[in-house]
Structure 1
Amino acid sequence: MTRAKVSMQELIRRRRRAAFVGRRDELRLFRANFEVPPEDDRHRFLFHVHGPAGVGKTSLVRELGQLATERGALVAYVDDAVPDLPEALGEITAQFAQQGRTMKALDRALAAHRHRIHEAVAAAARAPEPDVPSAGSVALARAGVVGLGMVPLVGAFSGVVDTERVALRAERLRARFRTPEDARLVLEPERALTPVLLDELAGAADAAPWLVLLLDAYERTAPFLDRWLHDVMTTDRYGDLPANTVVVTAGQRPLDPDRWEGAADFAAELPLRPFTESEARGLLAAKGVTEEPVVAEVLRLSGRLPVLVSTLAETGPAAPDDVGDPSANAVERFLRGEQDPARRTAALDCALPRRLDEEIARAAVGPGADGTGDDSAELYAWLRTMPFVRPDRRGTARYHDVVRAPMLRLRRNTAPALWSAGHTRLAELYTRRREALDEELRGAAGRPWMRPEWRALRVDELYHSLCAGPRAALPGVLREGIEACRFDTAVAREWARVVADAAEDTGAEHLRVWSDDLGDALADDTLGALRALELLLARAGFDDADRVAAHNEHGLRLFHLGRLHEAIEDHERALAIDPGDPWGHHGLAVTRRALGDFDAALRHLAAAEEAAPGAE
């Protein structure tokens, strides 16, 4: 009888599951929930896993996902790799599709959302348009009226721009600013996308016994997911959520008690603490560490924190002294079992990047003794075997935060030149990657910050620049915030997170102040980007060109919020600094048109055309 073939990946998954120890109470509670129908008051629709870094939240969440899969559930896993709600929904539909359940309507809605961003926000790019205006627009222009509102052409303006150009600009203006629905799709995507998601989940719920959504790294994703999730689960704002849906969230903090007041009726909190002694001993035994003096020393040094128990066990200690003493540096304990000095150095070097692939590892390590860095592939392969290095869904790998943090401190405090050189090499690598993508995107519609793949490269480039030179790089990073704030608060938070992460990893107080203040400004989902721009204008020390750009972006945010008169004030401030700025004139043209002042709108449109002919 021929045995069914099993993939290597499946065998690895089975071995990892077999090695999972502990958390029996949490697993039992989650498993039993599938035996209780949703109509039963004992059923729980939400499980919130919380506890400090290194306590094993992600491992537990993935194990819960495996349990759900065994029950026939459709399962989707989302973590902090997504920057906003639309990207999170994209992960859900992609992972359901991998399990055989396509969500075509949601895929179309997400594509429309991205397209509307290109149209409505990327004002600097030329969308596909005819080279000449339509005959109808030309006829209207020649008759003395143009645009959507039959705009009178005053004599003074009609002599500035020829009829066809006026007609063409009017068509472009019409194409760029369509309806309030288009603006809401860009600025409030949850209103447009969530009903579609719920319809798709309803269809999936008819085909599968359970739907399970796993939302990991919730301390990072809650700013854009928590309010939305609460509304989806507890209100009728977006429609009905199928009753056979189970949500698992996992973060460092408990649920917000104000937002989730009364959730005990339908939710279960799963606070994770360090392993019990029995659980820690079970993990050590599974790793072959059974000598009582060694076990006792590992338990003492690790505090029974799962990631540290696992890491110390992996070194294969044979005697208590092999584990290290309480005053020894944490990094020394992590690497105690590795005697190769090149590997020990590489482990410290490769803690610098926030994620790893072979090329990133090569840049982090730098050239070898022969100047080539050819041993980086071998070192990277070794690193991936370490218990504190975990793969992610991007095909890259990451150090566990509990291990990375002391490694960063050690490198920064004991080898500042190596710290700076390593971050400089990494910044240069990300610059090259970004510039290569810039070349691919040359001529494509849309501004770079609206593209997730571009943002991912840019934020790492900025992060490493800040780490290499916290004071020298900060002005450029703050200047980048002008463009990041152009789109929405979620994108602005990605940019601000660069400052927060660099503040944490460098210990630079001036970065920490900026991080705290930007975090406060961006706490509001609707007004966050606006307030961040106000903070930049007040304190970033911009030169005239940057102040002009910041005022124009601030005015654009006000325009989308319907605060048109305030938007005019911003664009006028920009023009007071630079009377020839085309974007100040463009902003006034759009805003005046929205107010019905068509004469002024066309004057500013002509001034923008004169200042930057052909610009969009």
Structure 2
Amino acid sequence: MGRERPSMQELIQRRGAAGFVGRRRELDAFRENFGLPPEDGRHRFVFHVRGHAGVGKTWLIRRLEQTARQEYGALTARVDETVNSVPEAMASISAQFDRQGRPFTAFDRRLATYRQRRHEAESIPDQAGQQGPSTGGMAAARAGLTGLGMVPGVGALAGAVDPVPLAEGADRLRAALSSRFRDHRDVQLVLDPVRTLTPLLVGELSKTAAAVPWLVLFFDTYERLAPLLDPWLHTLLTSERLGTLPANTVLVLAGQTRLDPGRWGDLADVVAELPLEPFTDAEARQLLTAKGITEEPVVREVLRLSGRLPVLVSTLAANPGAAGDLDDPSATAVERFLRWERDPVRRSAALAGALPRRLNEDVFRAAVEEEAGAGLYGWLRSLPFVADRTGSARYHEVVRAPMLRLQRTTSPRRWSAAHTRLAETFARWREAAAGELSPRDRWRLEAWSGPRLEEWYHLLCARPSAALPGALRDGIDACGAGPAVARRWAATLTEAGEDAGSELVHAWGRRLVEALADERRRGIEVMGLLLARAELDTAGRAAALVVRGWHRRSVEELDGALEDFHRAIELEPGNIQAHFGCAAIHRLTGNFAAAMDALDRVEALEPGSVWVQRERGETCRRAGRYQEALALLDTVVEADPADHVALGSRGQTKMALGRVQEALADLDRAIERNGDYTWALIRRARVRGALGDTAGALADLDRAAELAPDAPGMLGERGEVHRFAGRYEEAIALYDQALALDPGYAWALGSRALANEALGRRAEALADLERAVELRPGYAWAVAQRERLLSSGDAPEGGRPDGPV
């Protein structure tokens, strides 16, 4: 069969490539590498294209991508600064391979599960009715942090965090999140998606690599991606912890700065550096000749104005006009960009289009103000310095920066009025998307947070000093929504300060970006900066303390978290978030009486709130006070029969009380109301297994496995079903698989101990219980079972080990 006809996009790319000039050395080095097998010591696995803005990095890597595809049959993917996390980068790679006919089915299924679990975690506050950051929300916001490699003692952040308390608190953190998320798999996936997703991605890449000559992954604007991707890529290249990349994979990084020598220094022999300088005189002349520009006065003036930067040479070559048009030595570069456009409406539109950070037709119409500007968007996108990216347009920064400076300095009032108009436009779009969401939940909604950030950008450009206090105050809620949103907020201040020429705003942005560098710490240092230096009112200070309290809780700084909540209460005695934070800390530390006292204060502030009763019920259940828990959960279900979380909790409580049939009924109702409620499916499988309904239990676990595939917890639960059915060897085999995936899965060790004991393997049972207690010193059930075996050897009490609830 002949090769399929090329697509329109491929034909357009080929035509563009035909006009590509210069960069022969870089292209030749890239081509020669494909002629060297990966085993050859001269082969390079990484190319690093480096140079200042406007030097042609993106232009070159697009040409390299075309070369890899068309000349060497490679499959390729390109990632740029539009991604905000490692999971987003992996998703982008998968989507691009899918478009090339190589779907990553297993990875995409797992990715969909991650997104669903993260959404469920972020929805927990809504279910509880609370207004402040919840444990679930905190864990969801931390998604991907561990996998990024930003742990104490690693990389540029080494020494920034004390590893001892973090290490000591790891088990407690996992147990607390397990209690909140209810399912072992949910915690593993949401807390560390990178460690779960990366092996699947690498596996898909390996399968694909066996069918094609080469895989080439491009990472553009790497100076912005490096803080996110550096640890991940370095781990992939130097360790097998996340899987083994196929040898016929090549990475191409393109950025303005050098690679971090502390991280990449040990890879110097596999990285090919491609530093880019402005075009040589000959290369620039070659491009101008290709554009039909040969008159020497015009050529000389283009070379002078452009500094031989490829983007400026291309822009000035697009329509240079007569040589006389280039004679005025006082003209600025911006005037040269637009000098050949005689239509004043178009000239004005091109300048106005530089004001927004990104453009679509709606934003462009708001920027140009005149209704006639709507028909100019197509023309604008055809300009050489305007690039299309995922449905939006963006000026090249080398061109945009002088355009902004020109407008800001020549007419400050017009500048301020234009940015104010754009801010008002984004505010209207933001308000339309807000609905009934709480401030923190709005920040998690892209349809709200995107316009909000652009609104602040334009307000800060219009009136930097006047807008700064509000932007800083709004950052409290942005940080509460998670690190990805917080980074975008901080970057907005940095860019606005630079574009507005405000050192005050720019300095704040730099400090905030630096404070967010250690993602494990999340917003703790940012809140410290705001509390120390920003002019916050009482409500703002209380809000910052509450956010910092939840962030401190997420890194096990429990004393500091409790202190922040108490300080917030001193400032605002009616702050429900702060009181609930105290309850959460007390419950985590086992001080259930203090937790109930804190919930009393919440209820006094919000009388009759159903979610408070549910939290009371949860507190009693975790304290082992099942009758009290049942009474409280009964009132919640009576008030809201559709509350599937309360139904599931009540079912678990009834199971603990031995009311198995009633527990089954509650879990049935919970699943009826939410068919994807994995936690309830697993608990119902336990109940069905205890009742001897092995087929029904396995059916529930099959459905749960579809929602959360490859989870160690799912294997452990399947083992439980077989153990209850007396199939001890099958059960042990499943526990073994679960422990191979997660050696710290103490609950599976407890279950395996019971199965070993049933087979007469008392020594193996004791060894499993010893290991379980070692992993979780507070694992009371395992301690009791170990003591029973050591003292008397009597049959075990109860049918299953206690575990995360």
Same fold (TM over 0.5): yes
Q: Report if the CA contact (8 A) 2:74-2:216 is conserved.
A: yes
Deviates more, 1:282-291 or 1:180-189: 180-189
Aligned equivalents of 2:535, 2:112: Cα separation in 1:
39
Identity across aligned pairs (percent)? 54
Q: Which runs of no fewer than 5 residues in structure 1 stay unpaired?
A: 129-171, 368-372
Aligned equivalents of 2:551, 2:53: Cα separation in 1:
37
> Which structure 2 residues correspond to residues 27-38 of structure 1 after superposition, within 5 A?
27-38=27-38
Query: Deviation at 1:204?
Result: 2.2
Which of 409, 412, 419 is 1:416 aligned to?
A: 412
Equivalent in the alignment of 2:96: 95
Q: Structure 2 vs 1, CA of residues 174 and 599 (structure 1 numbering), >3 Å: closer, same or farther? A: farther
Equivalent in the alignment of 2:115: 114
Equivalent in the alignment of 1:151: none
* Amino acid paired to 1:245: T
Equivalent in the alignment of 1:147: none
Q: Structure 2 vs 1, CA of residues 557 and 478 (structure 1 numbering), >3 Å: closer, same or farther? A: same
Equivalent in the alignment of 2:251: 247
Query: Deviation at 1:392?
Result: 0.9
> Which structure 2 residues correspond to residues 291-370 of structure 1 after superposition, within 5 A?
291-319=295-323, 321-367=324-370
Aligned equivalents of 2:497, 2:592: Cα separation in 1:
48
Which of 398, 405, 409 is 2:401 aligned to?
A: 405
Q: Structure 2 vs 1, CA of residues 298 and 365 (structure 1 numbering), >3 Å: closer, same or farther? A: same
Q: Structure 2 vs 1, CA of residues 559 and 552 (structure 1 numbering), >3 Å: closer, same or farther? A: same
Secondary structure of the residue that 1:304 maps to in structure 2? coil
Equivalent in the alignment of 2:167: none
Q: Report if the CA contact (8 A) 1:521-1:531 is conserved.
A: yes
Secondary structure of the residue that 2:125 maps to in structure 1? coil
Q: Report if the CA contact (8 A) 2:55-2:278 is conserved.
A: yes
Equivalent in the alignment of 2:497: 503
Tell whether 2:265 aligns with 1:261: yes
Query: Deviation at 1:429?
Result: 2.2
Aligned equivalents of 1:519, 1:509: Cα separation in 2:
15
Cα distance per residue 1:146-191 (max 9 Å; x no partner): xxxxxxxxxxxxxxxxxxxxxxxxxx99873446875564454433
Aligned equivalents of 2:313, 2:415: Cα separation in 1:
28
Equivalent in the alignment of 1:550: 544
Query: Deviation at 1:552?
Result: 1.2
Deviates more, 1:519-528 or 1:443-452: 443-452
Q: Give the root-mean-square deviation of aligned CA atoms.
A: 2.5
Q: Structure 2 vs 1, CA of residues 603 and 115 (structure 1 numbering), >3 Å: closer, same or farther? A: farther
Equivalent in the alignment of 1:285: 289
Equivalent in the alignment of 1:475: 469
- Greater helix share, structure number: 2
> Which structure 2 residues correspond to residues 378-393 of structure 1 after superposition, within 5 A?
378-393=375-390
Q: Report if the CA contact (8 A) 2:440-2:480 is conserved.
A: no
Q: Calculate the TM-score normalised by the size of structure 2.
A: 0.66
Cα distance per residue 1:380-431 (max 9 Å; x no partner): 12211211111112x1111110010011011111112221222122222222
* Amino acid paired to 1:60: L
Q: Report if the CA contact (8 A) 2:221-2:254 is conserved.
A: yes
* Amino acid paired to 1:208: V
Secondary structure of the residue that 2:536 maps to in structure 1? coil
Aligned equivalents of 1:532, 1:126: Cα separation in 2:
28
Query: Deviation at 1:579?
Result: 1.9
Cα distance per residue 1:338-366 (max 9 Å; x no partner): 11111111111111011111111111011
Tell whether 2:224 aligns with 1:220: yes
Aligned equivalents of 2:327, 2:110: Cα separation in 1:
56
Q: Structure 2 vs 1, CA of residues 508 and 221 (structure 1 numbering), >3 Å: closer, same or farther? A: same
Count of residue correspondences: 561
> Which structure 2 residues correspond to residues 428-467 of structure 1 after superposition, within 5 A?
428-439=424-435, 447-467=441-461
Aligned equivalents of 2:329, 2:288: Cα separation in 1:
19
Query: Deviation at 1:432?
Result: 2.5
Equivalent in the alignment of 2:12: 12
Q: Report if the CA contact (8 A) 1:555-1:570 is conserved.
A: yes
Aligned equivalents of 1:563, 1:123: Cα separation in 2:
22
* Amino acid paired to 1:433: W
* Amino acid paired to 1:275: F
Aligned equivalents of 1:98, 1:127: Cα separation in 2:
41
* Amino acid paired to 1:484: A
Aligned equivalents of 2:353, 2:450: Cα separation in 1:
19
* Amino acid paired to 2:325: D
Equivalent in the alignment of 1:131: none
Equivalent in the alignment of 1:126: 127
Q: Report if the CA contact (8 A) 1:315-1:335 is conserved.
A: no
Cα distance per residue 1:187-243 (max 9 Å; x no partner): 544333322322222222223322211110111111111122111211233221221
Q: Structure 2 vs 1, CA of residues 338 and 415 (structure 1 numbering), >3 Å: closer, same or farther? A: same
Aligned equivalents of 1:5, 1:258: Cα separation in 2:
47
Equivalent in the alignment of 1:77: 78
Secondary structure of the residue that 1:75 maps to in structure 2? strand
Q: Report if the CA contact (8 A) 1:470-1:508 is conserved.
A: yes
Aligned equivalents of 1:95, 1:505: Cα separation in 2:
34
Q: Structure 2 vs 1, CA of residues 495 and 187 (structure 1 numbering), >3 Å: closer, same or farther? A: farther
Q: Structure 2 vs 1, CA of residues 246 and 345 (structure 1 numbering), >3 Å: closer, same or farther? A: same
Which of 539, 542, 556 is 1:562 aligned to?
A: 556
Q: Report if the CA contact (8 A) 1:224-1:490 is conserved.
A: no
Equivalent in the alignment of 1:49: 49
Q: Report if the CA contact (8 A) 2:305-2:333 is conserved.
A: no
Aligned equivalents of 2:505, 2:461: Cα separation in 1:
10
Larger radius of gyration: 2
Aligned equivalents of 2:327, 2:599: Cα separation in 1:
71
Q: Which runs of no fewer than 5 residues in structure 2 stay unpaired?
A: 130-175, 613-805
Secondary structure of the residue that 2:262 maps to in structure 1? coil
Q: Report if the CA contact (8 A) 2:439-2:477 is conserved.
A: no
Q: Report if the CA contact (8 A) 2:441-2:481 is conserved.
A: no
